[in-house]
Amino acid sequence: MKKNKPCGNAPEGNEPEDNSRRNFLKQSSLLTAIALIPGVAVKAAEGHFDEKVAAVFEKVPVSIEINGKAHKLSVEPRTTLLDLLREQLDLTGTKKGCDYGQCGACTVHVNGKRVNSCLTLAVMTHGKKVTTIEGLANGDQLHPMQEAFIKHDGFQCGYCTPGQIMSAVACVREGHANSEAEIREYMSGNICRCGAYPNIVNAIMEVKEGGQQV
Amino acid sequence: MKQFQYVRPTSQQSVIDALTKPGTKIIAGGSNLVDLMKHGVMSPDKLVDINKLPLRDISSIMGNVRTIAIGALALNSQVAEHAMIKERLPLLSQALNAGASAQLRNMATVGGNLMQRTRCPYFYDTALPCNKRNPGSGCGALEGFNRMHAIFGQSEKCIAVHPSDMAVALAALDATVEVVGKKGRRYIAFKDFHRLPGDHPELDNTLAKDELITNVIVPENNFAKNSYYLKVRDRASYAFALVSAAVALDIDNGRIQDARIAMGGVAHKPWRFYEVEKALKGKPASTETFEQIGELAMQGAKAYKENAFKLKLTPATLVEALKHAARIA
């Protein structure tokens, strides 16, 4: 379990957390395991040792631009973009709902396209631009979609809201917000268990009809 | 998720070479594979990310038969929104938009869509028996929860269905899957790409271990004016099909010159209705004609405890889709 971290944007110059202790523990437990294997097996394994250690412990360097800021990071291949954002960069605005691509709470934009960050391997966003809910506002000035969600009460508990808003912005940009029916269809990847759907649709309709730059 | 090695080759040959090692899997969009890895259903030692390969193009190709070639890495959303696809293969565009969510369609590729695994709950739960996941362990669905399961072409080993919408349209449109492997390039007719479960439900398709899908090729046709994809599901959007129908008709002067019919949610692969297609030829494109073919369509169907409703829903969906395609709905 990772420790809880305060919410909010990543501070300037934020670096990935120091994982040296975790890696030490993992490496030492592997070495312990190998020490317990009979000599013959160890000899047979020795030839592949380097490769195996590399396979288990290799972290991959990645460069990702997140909310306009370049990050040089080092990630395990199995780290999802969602976990990278939340656990390493403290960008906890992006929510972990189902973690299996079924609820849309983790929706972010990668190179301008909305995707489920829970099913995106961070290593596969190398060289790409990621926008999260934290990157939507212009300083203190909220994005029109954020304003509309507040005005139309497009949420109750608010947990799905960052994903809803990221998806809503993409929905308008894609040109799929031309009617209530179209909005409902193209927002179907974002589940709201409070049932704020009518207000969410109203918020998106208003932004679309307002014709502002989204 | 278990640890794995990750490589991102830039050449097709390196991908093929990497695939010869057991435990190696290709990743493209990852929308199904990462899900399966999180569930522990699949746990590859090595992932080969093929996104550096130039397989994203959608192009029209002139030859003996005019075809449209869709790169294996073209995104589902990219294909669905492509002007040429919408104009010439509207059935494919419709089927793609009926699948998944806008987010997932931005991740999922055409090749990956063909390779996705069944959503049978026994396949997904590693504590339960499943011959597809763990050959020889039995089929939990046979006597268990089988509401979503197959009514055609199933075996005692597996009654799972293929989850794709896109594949149902491609089956109806007689697509060809272009693959490359150690032995070179070959072309697999769409009907031969996915398998029926038989005694080896662990094998979803006929792709060899060292092979990579490079393109899906669809011949041009006269169906663009009269095609329709109808998907019936538990909620209005973002759910797998109970049953779905991809219907393509070539109608001249009110008579059916040619027909292609495939259905989803009914079998281990997109299910073609060749006999119905033959029976429709030459008949008037009328409600009466369509309502007569229901019985023929259902020959050989077999239901289980919870999916008997599909015996009625399948012909009803088919007739409805035919009426939409003929524009008499």
Which CATH number does the domain housing residue A96 bear? Answer: 3.10.20.30
A35 within some domain:
yes
Helix (H) or strand (E) holding B185: strand B184-189
Q: A41-67: b or e for each residue (b if 16 or more CB lie within 10 Å)?
A: eeeeeeeeeeeeeebeeeebebebbbb
The token pair that represents B133 in the structure block: 């996941």
C-beta atoms of B4 and A77 within 8 A: yes
Q: What is the pLDDT of residue A20?
A: 47
Rounded to 5 degrees, φ, ψ at B60 are -95, 130
Among A6, A41, A57, where does a domain finish? A57
Over pLDDT 90: what percentage of chain A? 71
A75 and A41 within one domain = no
A154 within some domain:
yes
C-beta atoms of B3 and A55 within 8 A: yes
Q: What is the pLDDT of residue A55?
A: 52
Q: What is the pLDDT of residue A57?
A: 57
A130 and A73 within one domain = yes
Q: Is B5 in CB contact (< 8 Å) with chain A?
A: yes
Q: Is the dihedral of CA B19, B24, B28, B33 positive or negative?
A: positive
A148 and A182 within one domain = yes
Q: Which of A51-65, A144-158, A184-198 has the lowest mean pLDDT?
A: A51-65
C-beta atoms of A124 and B238 within 8 A: no
Whether residue A19 is predicted with pLDDT greater than 70 in this model: the reply is no
CB A129 within 8 Å of CB A112 = yes
- CB-CB neighbors (< 8 A) of B46 in chain A: 55
Beta bridge partners, B195, equal none
Residue with tokens 């991908």: B15
A69 and A88 within one domain = yes
C-beta atoms of B101 and A55 within 8 A: no
3-state helix/strand/coil string of chain A: CCCCCCCCCCCCCCCCCCCHHHHHHHHHHHHHHHHCCCHHHHHHHHHHHHHHHHHHHCCEEEEEEECCEEEEEEECCCCEHHHHHHHHCCCCCCCCCCCCCCCCCCEEEECCEEEEHHHCEHHHHCCCEEECHHHCCECCECCHHHHHHHHCCCCCCCCCHHHHHHHHHHHHHHCCCCCHHHHHHHCCCCCCCCCCHHHHHHHHHHHHHHCCCC
C-beta atoms of B4 and A56 within 8 A: no
pLDDT range class, residue A37, cuts 50, 70, 90? very low
A5 within some domain:
no
Distance CA B266, CA B58 (A): 30
C-beta atoms of A184 and B6 within 8 A: no
A1 within some domain:
no
A98 within some domain:
yes
- Closest by CA position to B156, among listed B205, B203, B202, B201: B201
Scanning chain B, the segments in alpha helix (DSSP H) are 12-19, 33-38, 76-81, 83-88, 90-98, 102-105, 110-115, 121-124, 166-172, 190-193, 274-280, 287-292, 294-297, 310-325
Among A113, A135, A157, where does a domain finish? A135
CA dihedral B25, B27, B32, B34 (to 10 degrees): 80
- Considering CB atoms only, which of B6, B37, B238 is closest to A188? B238
CB B159 within 8 Å of CB B142 = yes
Whether residue A42 is predicted with pLDDT greater than 70 in this model: the reply is no
Q: What is the mean pLDDT of residues A187-196?
A: 98
Q: Is A121 in CB contact (< 8 Å) with chain B?
A: yes
Q: What is the pLDDT of residue B137?
A: 98
CB A136 within 8 Å of CB A146 = yes
In eight-state DSSP terms, residue B194 is B
A65 and A48 within one domain = no
Q: What is the pLDDT of residue A56?
A: 55
- Considering CB atoms only, which of B37, B38, B102 is closest to A189? B102
A188 within some domain:
yes
Counted domains in chain A: 3
pLDDT digits (tens, 9 = 90+) for A118-168: 999 999 999 999 999 999 999 999 999 999 999 999 999 999 999 999 999
A107 and A45 within one domain = no
Rounded to 5 degrees, φ, ψ at B221 are -150, 180
First to last CA, chain B: 48
- CB-CB neighbors (< 8 A) of B51 in chain A: 124
Whether residue A18 is predicted with pLDDT greater than 70 in this model: the reply is no
**Ordered DSSP codes for B102-143:** HHHHTT-BHHHHHHPPP--HHHH-TTS--TTTSTTS--SSSS
- State how beta strands A129-131 and B46-49 pair: unpaired
The counts of H helices and E strands in chain B are 14, 12
Q: What is the pLDDT of residue A41?
A: 45
3 state SS of B278: helix
CATH code assigned at A196: 1.10.150.120
C-beta atoms of A78 and B31 within 8 A: no
C-beta atoms of A174 and B31 within 8 A: no
Q: Is A77 in CB contact (< 8 Å) with chain B?
A: yes
pLDDT range class, residue A212, cuts 50, 70, 90? confident
A126 and A76 within one domain = yes
A173 and A108 within one domain = no
List the domain range (segments joined by +) for residue A109: 60-135
Beta bridge partners, A39, equal none
Distance CA A147, CA A150 (A): 5
Q: Is A58 in CB contact (< 8 Å) with chain B?
A: yes
| Amino acid sitting at position B61 | I
Domains and CATH numbers, chain B: 5-51 (3.30.43.10), 224-325 (3.30.390.50)
Q: Tally A–B CB contacts below 8 A.
A: 89
A166 within some domain:
yes
Q: Is A146 in CB contact (< 8 Å) with chain B?
A: no
Q: What is the pLDDT of residue A78?
A: 97
Q: What is the mean pLDDT of residues A19-38?
A: 47
A128 and A64 within one domain = yes
- Considering CB atoms only, which of A121, A170, A187 is closest to B34? A121
A126 and A149 within one domain = no
Distance CA B268, CA B277 (A): 20
Among A114, A135, A156, where does a domain finish? A135
**More confident site: A56 or B247:** B247
C-beta atoms of B4 and A114 within 8 A: no
- CB-CB neighbors (< 8 A) of A170 in chain B: 102
Distance from CA of B31 to the nearest CA of A (A): 6
Q: What is the pLDDT of residue A13?
A: 36
3 state SS of B249: strand
Q: What is the pLDDT of residue A58?
A: 81
Distance CA A126, CA A62 (A): 5
A44 within some domain:
yes
Distance CA A81, CA A87 (A): 10
Q: What is the pLDDT of residue A38?
A: 45
A117 and A153 within one domain = no
How many CB atoms lie under 10 A from the CB of residue B240?
A: 19
- Closest by CA position to B282, among listed B256, B260, B249, B253: B256
pLDDT by residue for chain B (329 residues), tens only, comes to 999 999 999 999 999 999 999 999 999 999 999 999 999 999 999 999 999 999 999 999 998 889 999 999 999 999 999 999 999 999 999 999 999 999 999 999 999 999 999 999 999 999 999 999 999 999 999 999 999 999 999 999 999 999 999 999 999 999 999 999 999 999 999 999 999 999 999 999 999 999 999 999 999 999 999 999 999 999 999 999 999 999 999 999 999 999 999 999 999 999 999 999 999 999 999 999 999 999 999 999 999 999 999 999 999 999 999 999 999 98
pLDDT digits (tens, 9 = 90+) for A165-188: 999 999 999 999 999 999 999 999
